[in-house]
Every structure is written in C-alpha cells, then in structure tokens.
Amino acid sequence: MKYGDHITRNRGAIRFLALALGIPQALIGLWALLAPRSFYDDFPAGGDGWVAALGPFDAHLVTDVGALFVALGFLMCFAAASLRRGTVIAASVAWLLFAVPHFLWHSFNLGPYDTPDTVGNAVSTGWLVAGGALLLWLVLRPATRPATAAAPAAGTAAGQDGIRIPVVSDAKAGPLARMAFRQSRREVGKVMDPIRVYAHHTTLMLGYGAFETATGRADRVEPELKKLVAAKAAALAGCEFCIDIASGLAGEAGVPEAKLRALPTYADSPELDELERLALDLTVGMTRTPVAVSDELVARLREHLDEAQLVELVHEIALENYRARFNWAFGIGSQDFAAGSYCVRPEAVPA
C-alpha cells in the first residue's frame, strides 16, 4: 500500500537496495574524482587495471566519470533517506539510463580481460542493471489483494455487505468514478468501499479525493507518528473500516507492533516517546465530544513541533475523525486491509 507519496510497502527492502547501490557507487566515484590516475591504474583492486586495459589514460574523462558516479550514488542515497515514491522512481530511472548502456558496452568489449576479470566485469555491471530494475519494480508493482479476502461476485463490490445504501459497482460507474476506482486499486489493491459510496456524488468524490491527496503529500510530520495517531483516532471512534485500514497502513509504514499494542495504555507505555504520548493526548482530546484540548497540551506540543507540523498533526487527527463518522453513518465495514498484521482494537473515549 501507498499513502500519498510516502512509500509504505517494502520500505526496508527499498531503502536497503538503494543504499546497496548508492554507497559503493559514490565511493568508487570519489576514488576516480580525487585520484584519477590511481583509479585508472588500480580499479577495482590494486593492480587489476580494468580501466587501463581499455585505452590510454585521460584525466578529464576519468574525473568526469567519477563525478557522474558520485552524483548517481548521492541521488540513490537521497532516495533511500526520503522514501518518497516520486524520488525513488526518478533515481531508479536515472540509474538505469546509466547502468543499461554501461552493461551493454562492457558486455561487447571484454577482449582485454582474462577469464576471472571477464566474470567479475559481467557480474559487477550486471548487478547495476539488476539492482536498479528490482528497485523500480518494488516501487511500481501494484498492491495485491490479501489472500484471506474473498473475491466479489461479478459486478458487485467487495465488502459491501451491511452498507446502508447500494454502492456503485464497476458496471454502473461513470468515467470519473472509474478513474477513482483505478486509483484505489493501484494504491491498495482493491476499491475502497467509501469511494464506492462517494461515487454517487462525483463532485464531492473529486473534492474529497483532492483533500486526501493533499493530506498524503504533506510531509512535515514523520509518517510513523501520523499513522500512530490515525490508528488511535480510529480505535476511539470505533469505525470498523477505519480501524482495519489504519492498522494495515501503520504496519506497512513500519510502526512497530509493540506501539500499536500500547495504544490503550499509551500514557504509561515505555514503547512510546514523549512526543508520541503528547500526540496521542491530542488525539484523545480531539476525538471527545465536545473536543477537550488544553492550552497546556498545545504549548507542550509546540516544544517539539513548529506551527506547520502542528497544523499537519491536528489535520491528520481531524480527518480520521471525519472518515470515521462518514463510514459509521453508512455502516461501512472492514475490507481485510490489516490481514496478516496486527489490528488495533476499538476503545472507549475516556470521560
């Protein structure tokens, strides 16, 4: 699953792979950039001379190649640090634009090398292509429906049992609704039932979709903290759909299960840090009716967050409350988003 532009699926694998590509590339580039003659004579290991075997020394060419390697390595490391979908895709494409021609050229110019060097050359340049392609695939591959979810009957919507109005099926969806359905399938592997309900009113559906998109792209607050407060708000509101998807998104965003299990007793839990406990205090206060958020709580939060971050955090909690009330009104239930991971439990709002 993906939430806005933040990568939530395969985060560990994507980060590891990007660093495994980027760090060696940057280090090799620094060698060529800072000591071009040594790089020419000795790469990849002292005296091997893979570069020297290909032609006369050209300091300008070696230095330029070193700068290119450093730039690509830095771009890949930046992508690993940000884990933004657009950044990782751009870094992977740029990497492959270099790696594929690099691999092909070396594949057809192995004459100067003996057998061990030929194998080493083919493996090292092939790894650059395979690693970049795998990274791009991990980011772009569509989410799959959990194995435990039953397939819907033809022309019906999965999870629609119990919803208080008929949902818009694929067969009855108009062009705008079909676009929204495709986007939902691309992001979470299925059409979310709230979208099928919203599809009765396409103007509101588009406005709500834009609102969710803007929320997903907001990145001033750590994704893990936002997933944590969303799960807490969903549990307090008791919305079955919200609890299900918030738990699934939290797990895929890397929120430790221990933190999710600690939500009912968060105030005394050693699993949570001070900011997380304050953010959960805010969540409890905002989910009460009437809302109960004190000046003191906001002041303590401002010790950790600037104004934009505080706005983003409050917005996240308020939006989760909105989702819960909309879904409650229509009786929208679980769609097995949390299948295979820990699912938080409904909680009563403290008096």
pLDDT, one tens digit per residue, over 201-239 is: 999 999 999 999 999 889 899 999 999 999 999 999 999
The yes-or-no verdict on residue 280 having pLDDT over 70 is yes
Q: Phi, psi at residue 23, to the nearest 5°?
A: -65, -50
CA 81 to chain centre: 12
| Helix (H), strand (E) at residue 21 | helix 11-34
Please answer whether residues 138 and 10 qualify as being in contact, where contact means their C-beta atoms are separated by less than 8 angstroms.
yes
Residue 252 CA: distances (Å) to CA of 73, 225, 249: 27, 13, 5
* Residue 130 exposure: Cα atoms within 13 Å on the Cβ side: 6
What pLDDT is recorded for position 160? Answer: 62
Percentage above 90 pLDDT, the chain: 72
What pLDDT is recorded for position 250? Answer: 92
Asked which of 90-104, 128-142, 290-304 is least confident by mean pLDDT, the reply is 128-142
Pairing between strand 6-7 and 2-3?
Answer: antiparallel
Among 171, 207, 177, CA closest to 195: 177
Please state the pTM of the whole predicted model.
0.62
**Confidence tier at 51 by pLDDT (50, 70, 90):** confident
What pLDDT is recorded for position 135? Answer: 94
Region 67-94: mean pLDDT is 93
DSSP 33: H
The yes-or-no verdict on residue 188 having pLDDT over 90 is no
What pLDDT is recorded for position 153? Answer: 40
What pLDDT is recorded for position 254? Answer: 87
Class of residue 201 by CB neighbours under 10 A (exposed 0-12, middle 13-18, buried 19+): exposed
Class of residue 59 by CB neighbours under 10 A (exposed 0-12, middle 13-18, buried 19+): exposed
**Choices 3.30.1490.20, 1.20.1290.10, 1.10.10.10, 3.30.56.10: CATH for 175-330:** 1.20.1290.10
Please answer whether residues 21 and 131 qualify as being in contact, where contact means their C-beta atoms are separated by less than 8 angstroms.
yes
Residues in the chain: 351
Determine the Cα–Cα distance for residues 118 and 43; give it in Å rounded to an integer: 14
Percentage above 70 pLDDT, the chain: 91
**Confidence tier at 325 by pLDDT (50, 70, 90):** very high
Q: Specify the amino acid at residue 103.
A: F
Over the range 167-179, which residues count as b (16 or more CB within 10 Å of their CB) and which as e? bbbeeebeeebee
Determine the Cα–Cα distance for residues 325 and 239; give it in Å rounded to an integer: 8
| CA dihedral angle for residue 151, residue 152, residue 153, residue 159, rounded to 10 degrees | 150
Asked which of 7-11, 311-315, 317-321 is least confident by mean pLDDT, the reply is 7-11
Domain range list for the chain: 2-140, 175-330
* Mean pLDDT of the chain, nearest integer: 89
For residue range 2-45, what is the model confidence (pLDDT) as tens digits? Answer: 344 567 667 888 999 999 999 999 999 999 999 999 999 999 87
Facing residues of 7 across strands? 2
**Confidence tier at 46 by pLDDT (50, 70, 90):** low
Region 164-173: mean pLDDT is 94
The yes-or-no verdict on residue 48 having pLDDT over 70 is no
| Residue 157 DSSP SS3 | coil
- The neighbour count for residue 237, using CB atoms within 10 Å, is 21
What pLDDT is recorded for position 329? Answer: 95
For residue range 138-163, what is the model confidence (pLDDT) as tens digits? Answer: 988 765 444 333 333 433 344 466 89
What pLDDT is recorded for position 351? Answer: 66
